[in-house]
Amino acid sequence: MEHPNQETLLTLSSYNFERFAEADNLLRSGVHIQNHKSQRRIFDFIEDNIIPLKKFYEMLYNAKLYEQTTVDNKYYYLDAVDAQNKIFNRAKLDQQTTLFAIFLYWLHKMEKQFSFYLTKQEIIEILNSHHRIRPHIQKIFFGSEKEDTLSVHKTLDNWVSSSLNKLVKIGWVYFPDDDEKFELLPAFERIAEIYKDVIYDIDNIKTTSDFQNQ
Amino acid sequence: MEKYHKILEIFADRFSQFFPETEDAKILFSLYIKNKQNPEKFIFSEAEVRELIRKHYKEENESDKEQRKKFFDRLQRLLSSSFLERAEERQCFLLSEYSNQLCLLFFQKIEPLLNPSEIERTIDDVLLTLKINSDEIVRFEHWFEKDFKGKLKIELANQTNALEFQIKNMKDDLSECNKNMDLLEFSQYITNQMDIVIEQRIKLSKAFNGLDSISDTLSDCNLSKSSNYDFLIMKSILNEMLSVYRNKLDKSGEEISRIKGIANNLFDIIDKKPFYRKFESFFFAVLENSTTDKITTRKDSEQILFFVSEIVLPNFVKEIEIIKDTPNEYLFPDYYESFGTSKNQKVENFIKDQDKLIEAERKSIQRRHKAQRIEFWLENLREQLNEKEELNYAEFYLEMMNQEQDLEIAIKGTEHFLKTLRKENFKIETTNEFSYNSQQPNNAIWNIRIKKPF
């Protein structure tokens, strides 16, 4: 029975409304949803109900369901409209994972544009052998140049594996079959989006005295 | 020549675990190829080996003295690792049996790359022998082992591997060319490279059609009609193996489609190049200015040694925040009950059943009480752990059960405690023994030892 004063918060499409719980849970867990085989059901659901869903999160959670397009895809994610929003717990991506994500984006766009799958082994080899990367990585992780020992390998492996696991959780990376080969998802483009302003301004930033003194 | 160079790269890549340096792998495989091209030449002079070492280690800028020293070091390493052996002739060397086997293993895999239509002939041969041998189980078993497993299966594996190699190479090659070529040149290059791979896949796909004839022959033969058990088992194994290779071929098709997809967006890729170059500057600025707060020694307790460092990124790299979940207080009924005074709320309150509200409130209070008790016991456990190096959790559990007389608190609490302590790097070991309280003999717990973090 409907009361004349009752306000409807959410009207979903009749043919796939049952996907709401899963979609809501994923979005509120910080997962990015995109048109990819692993998320297609949920992606289609969001696409079909985008207007009511946006309204729903805005009204009830003071949050925005963001919609971003990439060259050949699209992704959605939920975020609080203002930082003071207490309805969500927000987690910071740790610095190691952030550094890894920036490295991975560079690797994919500059060195492996045509490789839609990468492997952990491949990544570790690049970290160990790329003449421009290796000295920095060695300095950051070991303080100085180290031989390629088991401990060194394990350190890099640990960094790569734990970072990838975190990126999987937010829907930026996908492991299709095993724990070795992985794919970068369209939402991984968000890393460039987040740092867009700094990237465009990098030449200026590099010349500021503040930067030089770091 | 380019293909030969790529084969060397693939070899070095595939067998990198076997060699101290990937360059060593290239040197050995180069010697193997020389022998393959001229079977009589299996002994190599020091000058030949020296030339290969110089070529693959690419150290032209070094002085003669330095090069000589490094040459002897590297030669010594190849000899001491039994990759090379000294020949009877003075200052001459030959590949060891081990190196030969390793190179042969690889060469058998890579060889079909040079001759992709070989499989068609193999399928024809195997089909012919199948027709002759498919009436008697003994002859069929022989065919299955010798012709199918011994010939066709190897050939199928080689061909699909070869195609995989080609696609992988093409992807690496395109990524490399993308860095330097302009749009027009690059699009032409992609088209040419794709044509080569697609043509080979079409050939392979056509050859794979012959596999249907093998499956048909197996279904129609007398052994199949008589439902011979051994035959049926082997037939199903065979069909499974065939489907593995068909699947691999399908996957290669998918990969080609995806490369096409990237190629179709070529304009966008080229268009974005200036941005990617800026991103590169950004990335290297981050790398150059990241510092390590502290480098601790190693986490020996993990039994796998690795260095642990706290990375601090430069100030211009802002932290990335992602929503994680909703705090517990927003999931409890209290939150919804005090959800403001919207029009809905008033209407809802009006029609709510009073008994249901009371019941919901009682359950909410009960849940909170249990949560508080669990927190109390966690504190208690922490205090005990502060005093002791090691604690038998079973004793603690029985004590908690005894005082609370509530199984839910004990079980949920245990789950919560162990999860929390694990996160804090406490070592938790479960033994094969268990304990129970004589007053509650149906409720036992494994003896769990909790140790402080190392």
Instruction: Provide the domain limits for residue B183.
Output: 115-273
Q: Helix, strand or coil for residue A151?
A: helix
Partner-chain contact B344 A6, CB within 8 Å: yes
Whether B262 and A158 lie within 8 Å, measured CB to CB: no
Q: Are residues A100 and A49 in the same domain?
A: no
What average pLDDT does the segment B402-412 reach?
87
Q: What is the mean pLDDT of residues B307-323?
A: 85
Q: Are residues B126 and B223 in the same domain?
A: yes
Q: Which of B185, B211, B228 is nearest to B130 (CA)?
A: B211
pLDDT class for B112, splitting at 50, 70, 90?
low
Contact A115 B175 (CB under 8 A): yes
B266 and B222 assigned to the same domain: yes
Residues B180 and B208 in one domain: yes
Establish if A43 belongs to a structural domain. Answer: yes
CATH of the domain at A44: 1.10.10
Q: Which chain A residues in 83-102 lie under 8 Å from chain B, judged by CB atoms?
A: 86-93, 95-96, 98-99, 101-102
Q: Which of B85-99, B113-127, B146-160 has the lowest mean pLDDT?
A: B113-127
pLDDT recorded at residue A85: 77
Tell me which of B94, B110, B126 is where a domain ends: B110
Q: Is the pLDDT of residue B360 over 90?
A: no
* Average pLDDT of chain B to the nearest whole number: 80
Same domain membership, residue A186 and residue A156: yes
Count other C-beta atoms under 10 Å from residue B425's C-beta. Answer: 12
Please count the residue pairs, one from chain A and one from chain B, whose beta carbons lie less than 8 angstroms apart.
189
- Mean pLDDT for the stretch of residues B400-416: 87
Mutant choice from A25, A109, A156 vs B, greatest count of B C-beta within 10 A: A109
CATH number, position B132? 1.20.58
Residue pair B345/B339 in contact by the 8 Å Cβ criterion: yes
Q: Do A140 and B311 touch (CB under 8 A)?
A: yes
CATH number, domain of B42, equals 1.10.10
The partner residue sitting opposite A154, judged by closest CB among B305, B316, B323, is: B305
Residues near A42 by Cβ (< 8 Å), separated by ≥ 6? Answer: A19, A22, A23, A26, A33
pLDDT tens digit sequence for A49-74? 999 999 999 988 889 999 999 888 89
Same domain flag for B96 and B208:
no
Look-up of token digits 């959790």: B393
pTM: 0.62
Q: Is A3 inside a domain boundary?
A: no
* Of B321, B319, B312, B316, the residue nearest B282 (C-alpha): B316
> Are B7 and B144 within one domain?
no
Q: Answer yes or no: do B282 and A198 touch at CB < 8 A.
A: yes
A194 and chain B in contact, CB less than 8 A: yes
pLDDT recorded at residue A61: 86
ipTM of the complex: 0.92
Distance in Å, alpha carbon of B260 to nearest chain A alpha carbon: 10
Which residues of chain A lie closer than 8 angstroms to B291, CB-CB?
140
Structure confidence by residue, pLDDT tens digits, B223-278: 888 778 888 888 888 888 888 888 888 888 888 888 888 887 777 777 888 899 99
- Residues B228, B125, single domain; the answer is yes
Residues A177, A144 share a domain: yes
* Segment B307-319 mean pLDDT: 84
Q: Give the rounded percent of residues in chain B with a pLDDT score beyond 90.
A: 6
Residue A73 lies in a domain: yes
User: For residue B82, what are its two tokens?
Assistant: 């039994």
Residue A104 lies in a domain: yes
Same domain? For A125 and A149 the reply is yes
Are B178 and B88 part of one and the same domain? no
CATH number at residue A153: 1.10.10.2260
- In which band, very low, low, confident or very high, does the pLDDT at B12 lie, cut at 50, 70 and 90? confident
Report residue A17 as tokens: 């409304």
3-class secondary structure per residue, B170-230 = HHHHHHHHHHHCCHHHHHHHHHHHHHHHHHHHHHHHHHHHHHHHHHHHHHHCHHHHCCCHH
pLDDT value, residue A40:
94
**Given B110, B142, B173, which residue is the final one in a domain?**
B110
Q: Give me the number of domains chain A comprises.
A: 2
- pLDDT, residue B345, reads 45
End-of-domain residue from the set B229, B256, B273: B273
Whether residues A70 and A103 share a domain: the answer is no
Cβ of residue A107 closer than 8 Å to a chain B Cβ: no
Interface contact A109-B276, CB threshold 8 A: yes
Give the range of the structural domain holding residue A37, as residue numbers without chain letter: 17-80
